[in-house]
Structure 1
Amino acid sequence: MKNVFITGIAGGFGKPTALALLARGYVVAGSVRSRSGKNAATVAELEAAGARIIEMDVTDTASTERGVSDAISQLGGLDILFNNAGIGSYGIQELMSPEDMTRVLDVNVMGVQRVMRAALPHLRAQGRGTVLYTSSLIGRIATPFYGTYSASKWALEAIVECYRTELSGFGIESCIIEPGAMPTAFFDGMVTPNDAAREAEYGDFAAVPAMSSNGLVQMLDATPDQRPERIAEAVVALLDRPLGEKPFRTVVDYVGVGPEIERYNEVLHDVTRNIFTSFGIEQMLDLNA
């Protein structure tokens, strides 16, 4: 029996993952910004299934430190941390204000850093642990209208590359999950720009983001396998593997983009190992398969 803490447990990936792990005997706690409002029904369902729910805001350091401490206390320890809380954004990049971008980066990048700083003293002290991260396929490439979101996930990937190596000597393994676009409520909460004057300067092109978004919705409707439950299955499969035998990156995609990203990842993994070998530090990569 292992103890798991999932940030953003009420979200599109968090809920099915929590339910899948609870069904397999894991002890699960998860964070939500608020138990009430839009999360109330999901929180009730998760608690009925056995999850502990912690109110925590990853954009607030004191709240994060308090929330992680409460989770460890309620779980009776911590073996697995799943950095899953996130927020999306969509729109022409020039129209994104610095405040829009800051909001996204504060959740997707600094939020992860706050959680890690709160949880790592415990994991380092016990000399073992598994940390999972929700990234994205567009944390590997950039596509139009997702520039701010991609930037946040590119930054996350870079941070995790460093955590992977810097924590390996403490027995803490790192695993990035890279989903393709999924039909979740994530799309409903996206940060979108509000700059009508600049938008008007784009003329007819200003209508393209909405057209592109509608096309994505149609593609997802036509791809029934592209569902959040696939993320839960990927997490379960990862955690079934022994410490030190999990892959560093796992792509979850059923619309045809995944194989190209996997090919890119394989090349990067080879380049990374070659560079580390030239510096004599390749052993820092050995805690992942």
Structure 2
Amino acid sequence: MAKVLITGIAGGFGKPTALALLDRGHEVAGSVRHREGRNADTVAKLEAAGAHIVEMDVTDTASTEDGVAQAIAALGGLDVLFNNAGIGSYGIQELMSPEDMGRVFEVNVTGVQRVMRAALPRMRAQGRGTVLYASSLIGRIATPFYGTYSASKWALEAIVECYRTELSGFGIESCIVEPGAMPTAFFDGMVVPSDPDREAGYGEFAQVPAMSAAGLAQMLDATTDQRPERIAEAVVALLDLPFGKKPFRTVVDHTGVGPEIERYNDVLHDVTRTVLTSFGIERMLNLNA
């Protein structure tokens, strides 16, 4: 059984994943920004189930280094890291201020980098590890009103492509999980633009994002299989696979978009292997099926 650290463990994907892994006998630690407030009930339930909870802010380097160290100490080691902490954004792209964009990238991109820098020395020293990353279907394509969020997940995917190759020689395998939209509290905490002057310039079109969001909510309500538990099932299934035989990307979607993203991923995987083969370094891809 593995020793697993999940960032953002109190979130929509983190909690069911942690509970599923604990149920399978894995040891789990997870991070939250604050134990109290809105996380208090979830933290209590996770701790009652056997999870170790540490306070950690992935936008702060010292906090991240301390939190990862506490988690490793509580677990007595680290076999699996699940970079799950994230923040969403929604709105007309021009209305997003540079500060709005910075908040999203600080969590979804730079935050992951902080966690990796804190955890990787341990994994490299032991010569083995598994790192999972929560991306998104719109980390592969872009849809209206999600430009900033998509950009952050596109950036994450690029970084992970590099980590995949650069860590393979140290026995560290990499896996990206790409969920479709899910009905979670994630939507309640999204960064939204607040720029009424620019919004006025869009006229009636300024009402379209709200209409689109309402349509998505209705679709998710009607798609009963599209639930956060599917992410937990995907993570459990990945960890059940033999080391070095896990797929690099796993799509989790029941809205009908998933097969198209899988087709796109298959083509990119072939292109990536061809390019690396031309440079004689295709072996750097060998820790994935």
TM-score by length of 2: 1.00
Query: Partner residue of 1:85?
Result: 85
Query: Partner residue of 2:282?
Result: 282
Q: Distance in 2 between matches of 1:66 and 1:219?
A: 41
Q: Distance in 1 between matches of 2:71 and 2:243?
A: 22
Amino acid at match of 2:226: Q
Displacement of 1:149 in angstroms is 0.1
Aligned residues: 289
Amino acid at match of 1:282: E
C-alpha offsets along residues 114-164 of structure 1, whole Å, 9 cap, x if unaligned?
000000000000000000000000000000000000000000000000000
Identify unmatched segments of 5+ residues in structure 2. none
Q: Distance in 2 between matches of 1:190 and 1:2?
A: 32
Query: Partner residue of 2:152?
Result: 152
3-state DSSP of counterpart to 2:169 = helix
Amino acid at match of 1:68: V
Query: Partner residue of 2:45?
Result: 45
Displacement of 1:279 in angstroms is 0.4
Task: Tell whether 2:75 aligns with 1:75.
Answer: yes
3-state DSSP of counterpart to 2:133 = strand
Query: Partner residue of 1:118?
Result: 118
Q: Distance in 1 between matches of 2:187 and 2:2?
A: 32
Query: Partner residue of 2:26?
Result: 26
C-alpha offsets along residues 175-202 of structure 1, whole Å, 9 cap, x if unaligned?
0000000000000000000000000000
Task: Tell whether 2:272 aligns with 1:272.
Answer: yes
Q: Distance in 2 between matches of 1:223 and 1:64?
A: 37
Q: Distance in 1 between matches of 2:47 and 2:119?
A: 23
Query: Partner residue of 2:237?
Result: 237
Q: Distance in 1 between matches of 2:208 and 2:87?
A: 22
Query: Partner residue of 2:14?
Result: 14
Displacement of 1:212 in angstroms is 0.3
Amino acid at match of 1:232: A
Q: Distance in 2 between matches of 1:47 and 1:71?
A: 13
State the identity as a percent.
83
Amino acid at match of 2:179: P
Query: Partner residue of 2:100?
Result: 100
Amino acid at match of 1:5: L
C-alpha offsets along residues 205-239 of structure 1, whole Å, 9 cap, x if unaligned?
00000000000000000100000000000000000
Amino acid at match of 2:187: F
Amino acid at match of 1:154: W
C-alpha offsets along residues 11-61 of structure 1, whole Å, 9 cap, x if unaligned?
000000000000000000000000000000000000000000000000000
Query: Partner residue of 1:62?
Result: 62
Displacement of 1:2 in angstroms is 1.3
Amino acid at match of 2:180: G
Q: Distance in 2 between matches of 1:241 and 1:128?
A: 15
Amino acid at match of 1:237: A
Query: Partner residue of 1:161?
Result: 161
